[in-house]
Amino acid sequence: MLELSASAGQLLAVLLMSVALGMDAFSLGIGIGLRGIRLLDVLKLSTAITLFHMIMPLCGIAAGQYVSSLLGNVATSVAGALLLLLGVHMVYNSLRGETGLMADHRTIWGLLLFAMSVSIDSFSVGVSLGMFSDQLWLSVLMFGLFGGLMSILGLLLGRRVGRTLGGYGEACGGAILVAFGILFLF
């Protein structure tokens, strides 16, 4: 009975971590979706985020405890700074009437930048994951599943709201990214 309780506790912890790690993918998705995004781009971006949400913890597990002590707070700060920069740039472009992002999610480099920016904290989680979880593959798969699902939800929600907001959609999306970036930094 005690063994079953510990296993359920681990599963709940991994589930909560998966949701928490997927939140920045959700917020980025809203920001990009508010600018307007094609369904094919939703699929590409969410697939990249899913893969990065699985690869980054695996890299973190491989890196070990030493890297965790170096990157624990730095990874969250880097993710926050990236979201903050992307958000400020989006607000700036909307005020100037420009349509470009710092990186275009339709290019391979932009796609990789966005996927990396929302998955970088998965690396530091992966470093500590190997120390307490017996079900590493289940954890990594759940990280990927929730990262992908939450990015799809954010992209589609942003896309729908963006149609209603029109030209203000990019500024609203940028403001959301700025808010999440600030939360990650502090």
Give the model's pLDDT for residue 100.
Answer: 46
Q: How many independent structural domains does the chain possess? A: 1
Residue-level length of the chain: 186
For 127-138, write each residue's pLDDT tens digit: 666 555 567 788
Using the structure block, give the residue that is written with the tokens 């954010």. Answer: 154
- Average confidence (pLDDT) over 38-67: 84
Of the candidate ranges 12-16, 136-140, 173-177, the one whose mean pLDDT is the lowest:
173-177
- Average confidence (pLDDT) over 60-76: 62
Burial of residue 103 (number of CB atoms within 10 Å: 0-12, 13-18, 19+): middle
- Average confidence (pLDDT) over 87-101: 66
Query: pTM for this one?
Result: 0.69
Pairwise CA distance, residues 175 & 180, whole Å = 9
Token digits for 73? 């707070």
Q: Which of 24, 47, 1, 9 is nearest to 135 (CA)?
A: 9
Domain that holds residue 74: 2-185
Pairwise CA distance, residues 186 & 184, whole Å = 6
Confidence of residue 71 (pLDDT cuts 50, 70, 90): low
- Average confidence (pLDDT) over 160-178: 69
